[in-house]
Amino acid sequence: MCELDTLRDVIRGFSPAWFTVSMGTGIVSMLLYGFPYEWSPLKYIAMGIALLDLLTFVVTLVLFTWRMVQYRDFFNILLHPQMSMSLGAAPMAFTTLITSIVTILAPYEVAWMPTLALVLWCINIVFAVLSFLAIPFLVTSHQKHAFENVNATLLLPVVPTVVTSSAGALVASVHSGTTAVAV
């Protein structure tokens, strides 16, 4: 028999680390879209992968939210030494979606795209800053760490703020005037 027999077992075992799948898919999409050699089918392949990234993010978000609602164990995840470190993957995966929106739709001059990108980026800032502040606080106040057991995963909560700020430069590039300066 398989270890995960039912959908309930799958939901219970669902980890925020699954957001890294969306993160990686979005990065591949942007790499292919920005590939320096002109081959028009490559742009369409990158657009397809960006849609796959969107689907992956939505499915992951739904499953993670389902777990939080059904088991009400978000605080347990925050206090878990490994799972809490991967919570920052959610804002980084969301950043790949924002980057895809700006990069892929900018050449088509879609009128609503700059506003959508700005709103999504502002939402992403909130989650990135929360992961930057809450996770290290909870790790240092509720977990015991010996120096010989400390590794680089404790640096992961810092990364979403860096990634989100770099996406802010891209969001600002599609705005003009005071909005671009504010971003």
Q: Indicate if the alpha-carbon torsion angle 158, 160, 161, 167 is positive or negative.
A: positive
Encoding tokens for residue 162? 């860096």
pTM of the model: 0.88
Q: Which residue has the tokens 């030494």?
A: 81
Amino acid 4: pLDDT: 60
- Residues 82, 153: contact at Cβ < 8 Å? yes
CB 53 within 8 A of CB 22: yes
Supply the pLDDT for residue 9.
80
Q: Per residue of the chain (183 residues), what is the pLDDT tens digit? A: 456 678 888 888 888 889 999 999 999 999 999 999 888 899 999 999 999 999 999 999 999 999 888 888 877 887 777 788 888 899 999 999 999 999 999 888 899 999 999 999 999 999 999 989 988 888 778 777 677 777 777 778 889 999 999 999 999 999 887 776 776
With b for 16 or more beta-carbon neighbours within 10 A and e for fewer, the 166-183 pattern comes to ebbebbbebbeeeeeeeb
Give the pLDDT score at 51. Answer: 97
Both tokens of 70, joined, read 């059904």
Give the C-alpha separation, 167 to 92, whole Å.
10
